[in-house]
């Protein structure tokens, strides 16, 4: 069933870009000129500049392949930034589909 809900704004896609080095993108957070992209089957967080270039990565696991196999992935689904006592942290959250991870 289609929703009949209306929104007081509209969205317009201005451009798109393909990232062959990023296996998936489930969550994204932005701070200080850097986008942090996390994927449900990715072994790294990808750090992109404001022109969408990968400038670095943050290793999450020692898996060396392109995509972590479904039985082994942590299933990261969301990312946000939190400030704790004046220090900014990237918080990644899983879907909760894999226990106990």
> What are 60-81's pLDDT values in tens digits?
889 988 898 888 888 888 999 9
Non-local CB neighbours of 64 within 8 Å, separated by 6+ positions? 43
Task: Yes or no: say if 78 and 29 are a contact pair by the CB < 8 Å rule.
Answer: no
Counting every residue written for the chain, the total comes to 101
Indicate the pTM of the whole model: 0.80
CA 56 to chain centre: 14
Cis peptide before 100 (omega within 30 of 0): yes
Task: Yes or no: say if 63 and 43 are a contact pair by the CB < 8 Å rule.
Answer: yes
* pLDDT tens-digit readout, 27-42: 999 999 999 999 989 9
């Amino acid at each position: 069933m289609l929703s009949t809900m209306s929104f007081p704004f509209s969205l317009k896609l201005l451009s798109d870009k393909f990232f062959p080095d990023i296996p998936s993108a489930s969550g994204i957070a932005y701070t200080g000129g850097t986008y942090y992209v996390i994927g449900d089957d990715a072994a790294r967080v990808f750090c992109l500049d404001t022109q969408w270039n990968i400038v670095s990565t943050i290793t999450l696991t020692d898996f060396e392949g392109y995509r972590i196999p479904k039985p082994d992935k942590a299933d990261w689904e969301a990312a946000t930034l939190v400030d704790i006592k004046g220090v900014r942290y990237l918080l990644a959250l899983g879907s909760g589909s894999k226990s106990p991870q």
